Amino acid sequence: MKQASRDRGTVIWFTGLSGSGKTTIAHIVEEKLLDAGVPVEILDGDVVRENLSKGLGFSEEDRNTNIRRIAFVAHLLQRNGTFVITAAISPYRAIRDEARSMIKDFVEVFADAPLEVCEERDVKGLYAKARAGEIKGFTGIDDPYEAPENAEVVLKTGEHSPEESAQQVIDKLIEMKFIEA
């Protein structure tokens, strides 16, 4: 597998609830691309929030600002030939659509796991804190998650292993001619 011959990269935008498997799968996709010699960077939502969006809260406006910042950085990297993998909840459809409109070669990947599965996987205990009222505005509990309507890839992460899910992403990138088999 190698990057298709063109002058720009691709943005692979993972979205889904906390605990849906976004970051785990994103890192497996990253490894596969790096092994193939494809230049790639991951913009993890938690890391970006800590370094680029420090001070933002979790209001809809602040969440949208965070996503705009991720999209802006992804666009800069992508137009210079780098594949960019984002792994951020990005709960609102409108802001994901805004990101899509500013980025050429955008592949939306929906890590679709039932809320119960995400809660079972929650190593940080965030869902329990949200259900206990200790965290307000938690996506999937008392703040909405708007599932994508037309994602290029829908991963049933409660049914498939992270490796199987990552291969679905790679297969889609090949199908869309962003990389060659």
Section 79-100 average pLDDT: 95
Span 121-141, pLDDT tens digits: 998 899 999 999 999 999 999
For residues 90 and 96, give the distance between their C-alpha atoms in angstroms, rounded to a whole number.
7
The parent domain of residue 79 ranges over 2-180
Are the C-beta atoms of residues 99 and 106 closer than 8 Å to each other?
yes
Give the DSSP per-residue string, 64-122. HHHHHHHHHHHHHHHHTT-EEEEE-----HHHHHHHHHHSSSEEEEEE---HHHHHHH-
18 part of the active site: no
Angle formed at CA 175 by CA 21 and CA 86, multiple of 5 degrees: 35
pTM above 0.85, yes or no: yes
Residues 6 or more apart from 131 whose CB is under 8 A from it? 141
Domain tally, the chain = 1
Please choose, from the candidates 176, 177, 173, the residue with its C-alpha nearest in 3D space to the C-alpha of residue 85: 173
Q: What is the mean pLDDT of residues 49-77?
A: 88
Phi, psi values for residue 144, rounded to 5°:
-75, 155
Q: Domain with 98 in it: what CATH number?
A: 3.40.50.300
Annotated active-site residue in 90, 101, 161, 165: 90
Over residues 28-55, mean pLDDT = 89
Number of H helices, E strands in the chain: 7, 7
